[in-house]
Each structure stands twice: as structure tokens, then as C-alpha cells.
Amino acid sequence: MNWRSMLLVACLATGVAGWWYADVVRASVGPLLTSLGLGSLVQQEAPATERKQANGDKAAETNAITLDAEDQRKLGVVLGQAERRRIVKPVRVPGNVAFDERHVTRLRARTQGRVLSLAVEPGDQVKAGMTLATIDASGVLDARNGLAAARAALGEAKAGENVAEIALKRGTDLLKFGGIAQAEVDKRQVDLAKARAAVQSAQAQVELYTAQYERLAPAIGQAPGTSAIVSPIAGIVTSVNVTLGEVIDTTRDAFIVADASQMLVFANLFGHDVDTVEAGDPVLIEAPIAGHPRFDGRVQSVNAALDPATNTAPARIELANPSGLLKANMFVSVEIQADLGHDGVTIPATAVQQSEEGPIAFVRVTDDRFERRKLRLGLQRTDWVEVAHGVAEGESVVTDGSFALKAMLMRSLLD
């Protein structure tokens, strides 16, 4: 082995042993190897400080993309704004339409009797004060006869009162001249008191039978001895539970009339939505009515008890229904705008891209430079998402074209 070979082996050993001190070895041994014509063995590598700076620059470059105006146009880059808004969660649930129980009346016969006529059928529109049925009611005649007897008794009691008053006045006059004893005057005073009590009792009987007869009296133009079932409200007849000629009493509903100008929708809330939805939240309701826009309403209340059959809590929603398009028991789609009680920074949903590290967005930092930002998201909607961290209010983010920027960034990492 000549001296050149020995020197080469020594240099290689020194290089391996001084791996962590490569810069020092290269500085001392490099010129010697070059002078020996072995400069090709020297690894052309920058010093550690330069490598560190280069790696930092590369890391910075992998989080940003530079595009001039023409490249942005070719990629179809469109910008959106990060803005602060009220965080509202859309809660979409099924629901069903029902009559408002405060606008439903159940009509019963006022007295027992046989049905003489029926004026309506289920589905008919009625007006307030309209007669739905008439009844041949013996109770009407009883009330009328009782009223007549009570009035006669009242007249008799008043006549007795007048006699008692006259007798007492005569007795008082005779007592002044000694023509009658004091005991007789006292007796006549007692008789007058009894007569007045009889008048009061007879008057009470007249008032009782008057109220009873007025409650049962036939409508104007109807035959005596009949009673009418009259609707107190305008609405739709939803149920008819009597038939012509049937004898009915006062214990069951003869008709049900509902005012359909105001309807209810019960939305079935699941899980966390029960606590999210509150009274006052605005609602949009889509019904299976061709060509009709969605109905607007507000949540009136959320039931505190869950339905054991469905494990849902119904949210009560009141809706105006002047045209009567909403029908009871109709199934509808309900979208409640649930206010979560805070404001937040939001960006368009199309600005969010998914990566191995999670959601990201590209923020324009200069006219031609776009920076990748890692996001921590809050509420996510189809139109916008809440950003808890990663983008500040007022910054511009890429919406259309963000996927292309993501693809360019991934390609640069592979180069």
C-alpha cells in the first residue's frame, strides 16, 4: 500500500468518526483531497447554519403559493370574506300540522231530545251563530212551564206582601188611639217580613227558570219545544257524531268545529336539539303544497317532556293559515334557525379543504400570495362555517379554486 492509499483510508475514517462534525472535517480535509485529485469524494453540502435557513425557507414555501393575476384567472380563483355574525344553527326536523286547541269548540246538546234536522256535514264551513242541528226537546217545554209557574208564584207572593204592608199600616194607626194591642202590631210586622221573604224566593225561582228556558229556547223562527245546537265560532266542521232521528243527551260531543285560520305545527326535536331550540327562534316550514312558498313562523315553546314512543320533544309553532292550505295531520319539513347565543368569525363553506392535518383554508396575504392556514372549526353549515382559530375577521379566503391551490401545494411537497 503506497502513501496515497494510506492517506485516503485515514481521511475516510476521520469522516465517518466525525459525522456530527461534518462541517469541521470538510473544512480541514476537503482542500487536501482536492489537492490529491479526489475532490469528487467531497459532499457538496452547505454549512449547518445555511441548511437550517434553507429548511426554514422551504417550510415557509410549503405553506404559501405565489400566483400572478393571470394564473389566478386560469385557476378560477374567487375570494370570500371572513366576517363576524350571529351563530345560528339550522335544525331540520319533521313535523305535523294540527288544529290550535284554543280555536276548537266541542258542541253538545243542551238538553236530551230527538234530532229533527242536520244542517252540516264534516268539512263544511260554518259561520258564528249558525244552527247545526235542531232537537225535539221535552226539556224546553218543562223549562217554559216552570218559568210560567214561577212567575205566577212571584205575583202571588207580591200580592201577599201588599196585604201584609196594609195590615201593618192599619195596626200602627190603631195603636196610636189604643184600638189595638202592641202584640197584634208585632205579629203583623212578622207577617210582612215573611211575605217579603216569599217574594224574594219566588223572584229567585223566576230567574232560575228564565235562565234555563233561555238556554234551551228554540232559535228565532223555529217551532216551540225544539232546541238548537249553534256554533259559537266560524270554522270548519271536523266531526259530526249524531244522526237524524237519534235521541241524544248532554254527555257526548255532537259536533266539533275548528277555526283553521290559525294552525299549529309540532316539530319533533331529537337529542341535543331539544336544548338548542328556544322559544322565539324563527322557523321556515315546507308543506306538500304545489307552487306555494314556505310558511314563516316562530317557536312558541318546547315541551319539557319527551314522547316515550319516539324519544322526541315537540316544539310548538304557531302559523297563520288565512287561505286554509294547511290541513290537520299534514306532514311537513321544519327548519328552525336556532340562535346559539354568541357571535363568531365565519368563512364560506367552499373555502374549507380537508388535509391530512385537518381542515385548512387559503388566505390571501398579498395580491399574489396565498397562505395555507390550519383551522379549528365551530359550527359547520352548508353555506358558511364558524372558525374558532386560523382566520381573522376581515381576511380574504379563497372559495372557488381552493381545491386547485391544495393540489398545487401537495405537488410541491412531493418535488
pLDDT digits (tens, 9 = 90+) for 155-187: 999 998 999 899 888 888 888 887 788 888 888
CATH of the domain at 374: 2.40.420.20
pLDDT tens-digit readout, 258-302: 999 999 999 999 888 898 999 999 999 999 888 888 899 999 999
How much is the pLDDT for 397?
A: 95
In a shared domain, residues 71 and 189: no
pLDDT tens-digit readout, 227-266: 889 999 999 999 999 999 999 888 999 999 999 999 999 9
In a shared domain, residues 124 and 237: yes
- 158 part of a folded domain: yes
In a shared domain, residues 296 and 403: no
Residue that is last in its domain, among 285, 309, 339:
339
Average pLDDT in the 62-81 region? Answer: 89
- 53 part of a folded domain: no
In a shared domain, residues 317 and 354: no
Crossing angle of the two packed helices 402-414 and 48-62, in degrees rounded to 10? 150
Q: Answer yes or no: is pLDDT of 8 > 90.
A: no
How much is the pLDDT for 209?
A: 81
CATH of the domain at 289: 2.40.30.170
In a shared domain, residues 296 and 315: yes
CA-to-CA distance for 331 and 94, rounded, in angstroms? 7
- 281 part of a folded domain: yes
- 54 part of a folded domain: no
Crossing angle of the two packed helices 138-177 and 182-216, in degrees rounded to 10? 160
Q: Which of 32-41, 295-304, 357-366 has the least mean pLDDT? A: 32-41
- 50 part of a folded domain: no
Residue with cell 479526489: 38
Q: Calculate the average pLDDT of the chain.
A: 82
Contacts 24+ apart (CB under 8 A), 46-49: 47/23, 48/23
What total number of domains does the chain contain?
Answer: 5
- Model confidence band, residue 221 (pLDDT cutoffs 50, 70, 90): low
Average pLDDT in the 141-164 region? Answer: 86
How much is the pLDDT for 182?
A: 85
Closest by CA position to 48, among listed 29, 25, 22: 22
- 290 part of a folded domain: yes
Structural domain span for residue 240: 105-128+227-252
- Model confidence band, residue 36 (pLDDT cutoffs 50, 70, 90): very low
Higher pLDDT, 49 or 141: 141
Residue that is last in its domain, among 339, 366, 392:
339
Q: Answer yes or no: is pLDDT of 336 > 70.
A: yes
Percentage above 90 pLDDT, the chain: 48
- 110 part of a folded domain: yes
In a shared domain, residues 410 and 333: no
How much is the pLDDT for 89?
A: 92
The answer to whether 307 and 313 are in contact (CB under 8 A) is yes
- 51 part of a folded domain: no
- Model confidence band, residue 3 (pLDDT cutoffs 50, 70, 90): very low
Q: Which of 23-27, 87-91, 287-291 has the least mean pLDDT? A: 23-27
Average pLDDT in the 373-395 region? Answer: 93
How much is the pLDDT for 403?
A: 92
- Model confidence band, residue 132 (pLDDT cutoffs 50, 70, 90): very high
How much is the pLDDT for 305?
A: 87
Q: What's the distance, CA 127 to chain centroid?
A: 32
Closest by CA position to 218, among listed 136, 290, 287: 136
In a shared domain, residues 111 and 248: yes
- Model confidence band, residue 361 (pLDDT cutoffs 50, 70, 90): very high
In a shared domain, residues 333 and 351: no
Q: What's the distance, CA 138 to chain centroid?
A: 51
Residue that is last in its domain, among 318, 339, 360:
339
Distances 403 to 64, 133, 374, 394, 410 between C-alpha atoms, Å: 14, 72, 15, 22, 11
Percentage above 70 pLDDT, the chain: 81
How much is the pLDDT for 233?
A: 94
In a shared domain, residues 234 and 372: no
> How many Cα atoms are found within 13 Å in the side-chain-facing hemisphere of 273?
22
Beta strands 313-320 and 282-286, pairing class: unpaired
In a shared domain, residues 122 and 73: no
Average pLDDT in the 385-396 region? Answer: 94
Q: Answer yes or no: is pLDDT of 401 > 80.
A: yes
- Model confidence band, residue 146 (pLDDT cutoffs 50, 70, 90): confident
Q: Answer yes or no: is pLDDT of 51 > 70.
A: no
pLDDT tens-digit readout, 114-131: 898 999 999 999 999 999
**CB count in 10 Å sphere of residue 317:** 24
In a shared domain, residues 36 and 144: no
In a shared domain, residues 307 and 375: no
